[in-house]
Amino acid sequence: MSAPDPLAGRSRAAAWFATFAAYVVPLGFILAPMTLFLAYSFFSVDHGDIVFSPTLANYVRFFTDPVFQPIFWRTCLLCLSVAVLCVVFAYPVALFLTGLKGRQRHAVLVLLLVPLLMSYVIKIYAVRSILGGNGLLNRTLMALGLIDEPSMLFVFNLNAVLLTLTVLLIPFAILPIFLSLETIPKALRHASADLGASDLQTFLRVTLPLSLPGVASAMSFVFVLAIGDFLTPQMVGGQSGFTFGRIIYSQFGTAFNWPFGAALSVILAAAVICAIALGGWAGTRRQTQ
Amino acid sequence: MTAPTTAHATPVRPARRVLESPMKRIGTALLVAVTGLVFVLLYGPLLVPITSSFFTVSHGAVDWSQPTADAYAALTRNESVLAALRTTLIVGVSAVVLSVVIATGLALYVASPEAKGRRFLQFVIFLPFLMPPIITGLALLIFFREINFERSILTVIIGHTVFVLALVYRTILVRLQSLSGSLVEASYDLGASRWQTFRLVLLPNLRGAMAGGAILAFALSFDETMITLLVTGTQSTLPVRLWAMMRLGFTPDINALVTLVLLFTTALCLVAVRFVAPVQAAAGGD
């Protein structure tokens, strides 16, 4: 119930614009493409032309063809390993961060988050330059006398994808764990100490269990980012580092089977939704206990 | 209640600290060590291209004997890189302007009481942010093909806008919701029109959030590779150009370009952190 409007024409234009922004852009440029994409997964291809009649053939092919499922599960396992590795590195950092105060804490937090906004492609390139046959890692190992010639264990295979993704995604795991550690009341730790628990006991029985929601969301975060990534496996994966994202891309590029590629993407989206739901569920379940 | 507890705790704790100090010290040392290792993992790789950008490379081996800025000089003559830089800036600025304008309208609409389908709209806006970029990119690719929209710089701008919209929207909405409703009511009571209220009351209050969102959006757009790779026509942005160059191998001008891009994104990021987390920044600055 506002005062009468002296500039009714103008405000109507503003209201019209707000409605336009609210509906046309999200519905026209996000929902429409996504829906069309979903619809495409039920189409098929005949001699390079897309047949616009609904069929489940693409999904049947994914579940019956012996090629695609193993790559899908292998990619899931890879991304789960990345998530576990990221948490292993991120947890101590987050714990260290909660011990800091004021300006120090802010500085370390910013330094840990700055790499998030650094160019992703460049970071992949940088990590590859270290892992490569002629890279820093190999040269260091050779200088230390641990190996005699450049090892190809760390480049153009799944190990390389695993290591690169872990290095790139650690910052994404630090933040949720740090936030959940922050919400634990100090009084609980003090109470534990007053009751005679050692620091290690307090950590294992109080801090760690209460921070598990943060660990769960960190893991789902990292998993989602890793499974959706295409650039890293393409850049460091080589022939044996074939992941699900690369299969999808190849369906649009070399194979030119867009409907099948769309169906594979829908399966990828389903995996992403499962991971987000699982992370959210694990988080809330812990909190209610 | 609190006073007796602390009074009771004070004499106990120093004693225990003495007893357990070796273990505690090991724990702290472990945390410092892992944090240090993570810093090395995050920043170490970036030092390799930065240092090698100042030396010449021949036959895959770096000549460490004397530093040179040759790679940077070569970069200023590299037409394709300069063109990519131009495209990146055009796309970034367009996407930022579009997304800030649309996100502001969207936030005002969602915050208004007469909004319909609020949750659904939010869900749709966040889709490109939740879904892997490859899905957003492919969805747009199919969409543009079906509506016979030629792939060009325009499709890249649309792709980037759609991608950064959620972030800008979120930044503005949070600020909008923290504004007191009485501010707007007072403006109406004093006889201001909706437009005047927006321009004189809401806009000045939202400016910080809009600037922060804009910087973040620009940083995201500047780095976006996957969607661009899929929806671009013949023009490539800097990350896409880098992507193409890197797959061919290591050359000094890539390292020089990498160094410059890193410097730029880091600066951008530090400015964005200042804007988006003004509370923490203020606390840290004191």
Residues of A in contact with B35 (CB under 8 A): 92-93, 96-97, 108
Q: Is residue A153 included in any domain, yes or no?
A: yes
A195 touches chain B (CB under 8 A): no
At B20 the pLDDT is 52
Quick check: is A270 in a domain?
Answer: yes
Query: Which residues of chain A does B247 touch, with a Cβ-Cβ cutoff of 8 Å?
Result: 235
pLDDT recorded at residue B245: 85
pLDDT digits (tens, 9 = 90+) for A164-209: 999 999 999 999 999 999 998 888 888 888 888 888 888 888 889 9
B267 to A108, A119, A169, A245, B262: CA distances (angstroms): 16, 12, 21, 32, 8
pLDDT of B7 over the 60 cut: no
Task: Say how far apart CA A32 and CA B128 lie, in whole Å.
Answer: 12
Paired strand residues for A50:
A45
Domain count, chain A: 1
The pLDDT, as a whole number, for residue B276 is: 64
Alpha carbon A164 to its chain centroid, in Å, reads 13
Query: How far apart, in whole angstroms, are the C-alpha atoms of residue B232 and residue B220?
Result: 17
Separation of alpha carbons A35 and A195, rounded Å: 58
- Predicted structure pTM score: 0.86
* B170-200 residue pLDDT tens: 999 988 888 877 788 888 888 887 778 888 8
Which residues lie below 8 Å from residue B246, measured CB to CB, with a gap of 6+?
A121, A125, A235, B254
Please report residues of B whose CB lies closer than 8 A to that of A18.
105-106, 108-109, 112
Task: For residue B274, give the DSSP letter.
Answer: H
pLDDT at A9 over 50: no
Residue A82, in any domain of the structure: yes
Residue A136 pLDDT more than 50? Answer: yes
Residues of A in contact with B254 (CB under 8 A): 125
pLDDT surpasses 60 at B12: no
A24 interfaces chain B, CB cutoff of 8 Å? no
- Tell me, yes or no, whether A260 lies in a domain: yes
pLDDT for residue A5: 39
Contacts of A37 in chain B (CB under 8 A): 135, 138-139, 142-143
> Is residue A160 a part of any domain in this protein?
yes
Percent of chain A with pLDDT strictly greater than 70: 93
Mutate to test the interface with B, among A37, A121, A182 (most CBs of B within 10 A): A121
- List the single range of A124-138, B95-109, B133-147, B234-248 with lowest mean pLDDT: A124-138
Does the pLDDT value for residue A29 go beyond 80? yes
CB-CB under 8 Å, A252 with B284: no
pLDDT of residue A60: 94
d(CA A257, CA A278): 32
CA B75 to CA B254: how far, in whole Å? Answer: 9
Q: A130: which chain B residues are within 8 Å (Cβ-Cβ)?
A: 44-45, 48
| CA pair distance A44, A235, nearest whole angstrom | 30
B224 vs B110, residue with greater confidence:
B224
CB contact under 8 A, A103 and B45: no
Task: For chain B, give the percent of residues with pLDDT over 70.
Answer: 85
Whether residue A139 is contained in a domain is answered as yes
The rounded percent of chain B whose pLDDT value lies above 90 is 36
In B, which residues are within 8 Å of A199 by CB distance? 20, 23-24, 27
Q: How many CB pairs under 8 A join A and B?
A: 262
Question: Taking all residues of chain A, what is their mean pLDDT, rounded to a whole number?
Answer: 87
Most B-contacting residue of A98, A109, A114, A125 (CB-CB within 10 A), to test interface: A125
Give, for B208, the enclosing helix (H) or strand (E).
helix B203-223
For residue A19, give the chain B residue with the closest CA. B109
CA distance A244 to B169: 32
Contact A164, A151 (CB under 8 A): no
Question: Does A44 map to a domain?
Answer: no
A167 at the B interface (CB within 8 A)?
A: yes
Nearest Cβ partner of B139 from A3, A36, A122? A36
Instruction: Mark yes or no for CB contact A119/B262 under 8 Å.
Output: yes
Q: Is residue B28 classed as helix, strand or coil in its secondary structure?
A: helix
Q: What is the pLDDT of residues A54-107, one digit of tens each?
A: 999 999 999 999 999 999 999 999 999 999 999 999 999 999 999 898 889 988
Would you say the ipTM is above 0.90? Answer: no
- Band (pLDDT 50/70/90 cuts) for residue B50 is confident
The 3-state DSSP class for residue A225 equals helix
Rounded-to-integer distance, Cα A234 and Cα A131, Å: 15
The residue range of the domain holding A245 is 58-288
Q: What is the DSSP letter of A3?
A: P
Task: Please check whether residue A29 lies inside any domain of the structure.
Answer: no
Least confident of B12-16, B31-35, B203-207: B12-16
Q: Check B246 against A262: CB less than 8 A apart.
A: no
- What's the CATH number where A70 sits? 1.10.3720.10
